[in-house]
Structure 1
């Protein structure tokens, strides 16, 4: 089976020490990416570690496909305990860092301990250096990236850093890479901030001995020539469909569609797009560099989830206002979904929907923990009672779009995901709009044993992609046959690796107290409890959602 090659480099930022060790057995069993990081985290992070304490660790990993020239492979993984959900959490970022990470010669990099002053950590093929950077305290992401260029001749493609939000331990702070791409959602930027790490850089010319079959070029050619709407509108191409399907949350989830959707849909984003945008080696080019000439705002995005969180959910119907919020989050290092939802909750409490100026003011306050921002920086799960609004989270994580009240399978997916309310954990929504051929689609209404079984398959598939590492948007190109051809293994065995990753995440979270009571939604869906039982049954977990056994190699795990 194709897998990543190289050692684990462990970096103790408190001791300013680094070691390397072989992890070949883990690489063979878990391929790379999220799988390797999850296995390492499960074995090396204490189950009772404080997410913002020195014992929590971060694992940066890539997969074997980062040795290819194939489209959909410009991504990498970061794993640790989330300050937002309190569970084990993996985040996946695109951009251009992954190849430079590989060039530094490691299969995985572990960040542990806590520095006694603000540091930049430089990972090179020949070792690691620690640089005090007190002058970067409070710096926004562009300023930090400029520092790496000026002082170390490294462009944004070599960097992973935090903004003020990470330094201030905002629970949904992101780690930013390539300046505008994010390891988002779970607050891993706050973990880096708690360790007093402002900037990580990776550089080198190592070439791991990973041979990718020629099939890679078939996928690459199809990605280059396919006339897909995402090449023009990115994920915002689904905005109108979601709105028509009652799956676009609005006014802090009070509504499921938005009368102002036309002002923030894919057409409006396409009008502001001024050039192509992509990730490393990818010819699909679905990114969205946008610019508004009248205001001068320039950003990358917004993607569909941001159109929801800072658009419809805040009652804002002007795409330029959404762009400005998007750009602000990137500069400050904030997850755009959680930040937008938290702001929407605040607007609901103040009856100020549609106030775009207040939106931006509140985002600034959150990043710096000033005024009401100090409360909002904790996330809706911890702040909703003080705000007097409903707790729209799962496992402490704020909701994306693809509303589960309309797309019931996606609702079940939000509940079961080890990461919390995350649309990318299984992408069940694609089968309910549908965005797949009709013969593979599900009726969005209701739940069933068939949906529960499909959810298990999709979670395992997404985990496999994150081991590879292969982008979610390769869905129409990476068939089971191509996975088999590229990874040199039977597809069922590959899915079993994904299943093993999901089980390790669940087992770790079980040890932290998670069980069935956490697999809950803030709304009712007919048949939910029976579908949850069916899901646990397919997984082989207890009726309380607890994993009893995580022993044995990945290839024998249930799929």
Structure 2
């Protein structure tokens, strides 16, 4: 089976040490990316760890396809114990980092410990160095990239970095790369912030000890089809579905008070495309679905907004000007915050003060959150921890704010939100894609458990490979079998083991069936959850039988 190659590099930022560990057996079994990182996190992070404590660990990992030049592979995975959900979380980001990371000659970076000074860590194929960077305290993400470019000739394509939000332990702070690409959900930026790590750079041209041979075809076929596709995603990104979702299903509006946004045309796909001024892509990808946008009147430039940001900084806040949504997007990228959680949390605040549609206030509050200034200190904890003080409903699952795809009308997606280890995240299983397309009736939850399990396992393997979820129509199951030299059932089994490890880790932290719930009612939810547990062969209380798991990661010395 095709798998990533190279050792794990453990960087202890408190001790200022770097150690390589061979993990060949783990890579051969779990391929790379999310599966390998989750196995390491499960076996090496103490079950009782504090997300902000030195015993928490952050894993940055790559897959075998990052050794290729195939479209849809310019991405990486990051995993750790989330300060937002208090369970394991994995996030996925694009950009141009993956090839530079692979060039450093490692498959996984493990960050542990806690520095007493603000640090930049430099990883190359020649070794690791540590640099104290007090001058970067509360620097924005672009300011940090500019510093690394000036002092080390390493641009944003070589960096992961946090902004002020990460340093100030905002629970939904992102880790950023290429300035505008985010390891967004779950607060991994705050994990690096708690370790006093401002940025990590990667460079090198290491050749793997064992060559990774990518089958071609389908490598060149996928690249050619990506380059010639006329998919609307290439011109409008995920924003292209905004009006369709609003009209045919629902677009949560004004902090879930309404199901559709009357001004959707002013912030949807066409409005975004009008502001797009050039093409944008991830490393080696010919699909080029990114959205560099500019407002000529104000001079504002940003990347996006994508659909989720249109939802969180537009409809959810009652804001009907695409430029205001662009401002929200740009602030989150610059300050280092997940646009979904940040926008929804700001919407909850606007609800509490009856100020829906006040874009100026929304931007002010977004800034305050990053610096924990005034009411921003309360909101930086996320909706789950501050909703009582605000006097608004708690629209979260497992502490994570909802993505846009409304489980109140997409019941399979609602079931997915309820049981997902990551919480209310839309990409954990992407049931929404089947319900939007009509392949699955959006009404009802019963009889959907088997499909949900398959979707979870499939998406988990895409994060393991690593293949962009937007490449699913091109990297078909048949092609995945050829690329990875394995039957699709073998690949899905890797996904299933990974979901099970996440669940088992969370179980040890106290998560069980009571956490698999929603803040609203959908049909037959409890019976559908029973079906899901049966399909997973889990216990009726939502826990994983201990006998189902084995330790596969190297022990921590």
Please report the TM-score for the alignment, with normalisation by the length of structure 1. Answer: 0.97
Aligned to 1:362: 365
Alignment pair present for 1:213 and 2:215: yes
Structure 1 unaligned residues grouped into runs of 5+:
555-559
* Residue in structure 2 matched with residue 448 of structure 1 by the alignment: 446
Q: Is the 8 Å Cα contact of residues 501 and 549 (structure 2) preserved in structure 1?
A: no
- Asked if 1:505 corresponds to 2:502, the answer is yes
Contact 1:507 1:550 (8 Å CA) reproduced: no
Residue 126 (structure 1) shift: 1.2
Matched, 1:391 2:388: no
1:493-522 Cα offsets, whole Å, 9 max, x none, are: 111001000000000000000011111111
Instruction: Say if 2:84 is the partner of 1:81.
Output: no
Cα offset for 1:550?
3.5
- Aligned twin of 2:29: 29
Deviations 1:530-554 (A, max 9, x none): 1111011000001111101333599
Alpha-carbon RMSD across the aligned residues, in angstroms, is 0.9
Partner residue, 1:146 = 146
How many residue pairs end up in the alignment? 548
Corresponding residue number in structure 2 for 1:10: 10
Secondary structure of the residue that 1:337 maps to in structure 2?
helix
Partner SS, residue 302 of structure 2? strand
Tell me by how many angstroms 1:338 deviates: 0.2
Partner of 2:512: 515
For 2:51 and 2:321, locate their aligned partners in 1 and report how far apart those are by CA, in whole Å: 37
Q: Quick one: distance in 1 between partners of 2:375 and 2:549? A: 47
CA shift for structure 1 position 245 = 2.5
Structure 2 residue ranges without an equivalent (≥5): 553-557
Q: Map of 1:219-368 to 2, 5 A cutoff? A: 219-368=222-371
CA shift for structure 1 position 478 = 1.5
Where 1:432 maps in the other structure, the secondary structure is helix
Secondary structure of residue in 2 paired with 1:433: helix
Using structure 2 for the length normalisation, give the TM-score: 0.98
1:536 to 530, 533, 537: 533
Aligned residue number for residue 66 of structure 1:
66
Partner-residue secondary structure (3-state), 2:77: strand
How is 1:184-199 mapped onto 2 (pairs within 5 angstroms)? 184-199=184-199
What is the correspondence of 1:369-380 to structure 2 with a 5 Å cutoff?
A: 369-380=372-383
Q: CA deviation at 1:527?
A: 1.3
Cα separation, 2, equivalents of 1:48 and 1:358: 39
Candidates 457, 475, 481, aligned match of 1:484: 481
| d(CA) in 2 for partners of 1:399, 1:245 | 19
Deviations 1:138-177 (A, max 9, x none): 1011110000000000111000000000000000000010
Q: Residue in 2 aligned with 1:99?
A: 99
- C-alpha separation between the residues in 1 aligned to 2:6 and 2:239? 38
**Distance in 2 separating the partners of 1:256 and 1:143:** 39
Distance 1:456 1:165 in 2: 35
Deviations 1:439-494 (A, max 9, x none): xx011111122x11100000000000011000000121121110110000111111
4+ residue segments displaced more than 6 Å: none
